[in-house]
A = this chain, B = another copy of it.
Amino acid sequence: MSTLYLLGIGPGSQDHLTAAAKKALAESEFVVGYTRYIKQIENLLNGKEVYATGMRKERERAAHALEQARRGRTGSIVSSGDPCIYGAGGLLLEMATEDDFNLDLKITIIPGITAALSAGSLLGAPLMNDYVSISLSDLLTDRETIINRLHSAGKGDFVLALYNPRSTKRREIFLSMIDIMLQYRKADTPVGVVTSAYREEQEVIITSLARLAEMEEKISMNSIIIIGNSQTYTKGGYMITPRGYF
């Protein structure tokens, strides 16, 4: 039986690739992914059939990977971070289970370091206690649901990790998010902004909720924002959310 790997390549640097991910890539006859992520692992793809396409081609990539795997070939569909956290893995499983044909096929998910974890590791320990992960992309979830979730994150005093916080076309929800969080958190709540984690162009900034709006121009789709809870503090350059210990 052929295997299709839903494979997470982690953040920018190959240092954070797992042994399982490397092994799965080595076994793969074909590798499918978004052009940028394929480029990131290019040196591991010698002699493999590569199918790389640009943004907004998720469906085509998943269909191609499924078709190849159904022909009995072993391969991988790659995502940055973890394949099943805002990655390509969910759509692939949805499409694979639409009919029963897929049951001939073994699907193996290889988890990867998702962006909240890579951003956290560059800030200190902001995610040490209960946290929420929300994507601000209102192309994929309706705006009302996102707003409702931001209020829930505020009320529950959760640390908040934001994916896709702002695009050049979309800034309104980013500004609304700040307004909402200011209803629940103090103005000096620590906020970490990590852009392009573990890539050459990496930028790590620790600021406050009150000053986040001023930084708007520095925030892109490659940024992750982590907003502290009521206990989070900064010291020695680290952002730390305390938790009880024995």
Q: Is A111's CB under 8 angstroms from B103's CB?
A: no
Query: Which of the residues B10, B19, B100, B245 comes within 8 Å of A140, measured between beta carbons?
Result: B245
A149 touches B124 (CB 8 A): no
Does residue A128 face the partner (Cβ distance < 8 Å to B)?
Answer: yes
Contact, CB under 8 Å: B156 / A93: no
Q: Are A90 and B155 in contact (CB under 8 A)?
A: no
Does A152 touch B at the CB level, under 8 Å? yes
Contact A152 B141 (CB under 8 A): no
Residue in contact with A156 in the complex, picked from B17, B57, B89, B152, CB distance below 8 Å:
B152
The docked-state distance in angstroms from the alpha carbon of A121 to that of B111 is 6
Question: Which of A25-33, A65-73, A212-220, A235-243 binds B?
Answer: A235-243
Cβ of A18 under 8 Å from chain B = yes
Residue ID in chain B nearest A138 by CB atoms: B244
B83, B132, B236, B246: the one within 8 Å of A158 (CB):
B132
Contact call B56/A246, Cβ cutoff below 8 A: yes
* Complex contact A96–B236 (CB within 8 A): yes
B244 & A139 in contact (Cβ 8 Å cutoff): yes
Given contacts A140-B244, A149-B158, A157-B149, A86 and B128 within 8 Å (CB-CB): yes
A90 touches B148 (CB 8 A): no
The stretch of A112-120, A165-173, A185-193 that contacts the partner chain: A112-120
- Residues in B neighbouring A141, C-beta threshold 8 A: 129-130, 243-244
